[in-house]
């Protein structure tokens, strides 16, 4: 009798623990797992986009500052060039009257060449 009770007990435990999982339940778990992955991916994507926009803003700011500095340098160089040009033009227009020079004709005689 004890053996019979033990056999019934073991067989009932096997039936209870060995039941198959419902297919719909398995599909629901798989769907939930996929939704969790999508949520994690979207969070990572948002973080990456935020980081990229910060870096892009920093690059734009640095570029604008550099362009402004280069424009100022170009203006300074143009002013220096104009000053130098005006000095050279005034020096060329000044006639040097302190030196004398004479123009002589070119002689056709071979001796005087």
Where are the domains positioned within the chain? 28-93
> Which comes out higher in pLDDT, residue 59 or 8?
59
What integer pLDDT is reported at residue 103 of this predicted model? Answer: 75
pTM score: 0.47
Average pLDDT taken over every residue of the chain: 82
* DSSP secondary structure letter of residue 102: -
The terminus-to-terminus CA distance of the chain in angstroms comes to 152
pLDDT band at 80 (very low <50, low <70, confident <90, very high): very high
Q: Looking at residue 2, what is its pLDDT?
A: 64
- Eight-class DSSP state of 107: P
pLDDT at 19 over 60: no
pLDDT tens per residue, range 31-59: 999 999 999 999 999 999 999 999 999 99
Q: Identify the residue with better confidence: 39 or 105.
A: 39
Size of the chain, expressed as the number of residues it contains: 113
Cα–Cα dist 52/58, whole Å: 10
């Amino acid at each position: 009798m004890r053996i019979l009770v033990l056999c019934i007990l073991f067989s009932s435990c096997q039936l209870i623990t060995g039941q198959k999982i419902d297919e719909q339940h398995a599909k629901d778990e798989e769907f939930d797992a996929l939704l969790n992955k999508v949520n994690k991916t979207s969070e990572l994507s948002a973080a990456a986009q935020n980081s990229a926009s910060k870096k892009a803003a920093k690059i734009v700011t640095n570029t604008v500052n550099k362009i402004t500095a280069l424009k100022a340098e170009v203006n300074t160089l143009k002013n220096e060039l104009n000053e130098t040009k005006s000095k050279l033009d005034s020096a060329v227009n000044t006639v040097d009257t302190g030196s004398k020079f004479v123009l002589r004709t070119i002689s056709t005689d071979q001796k005087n060449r």
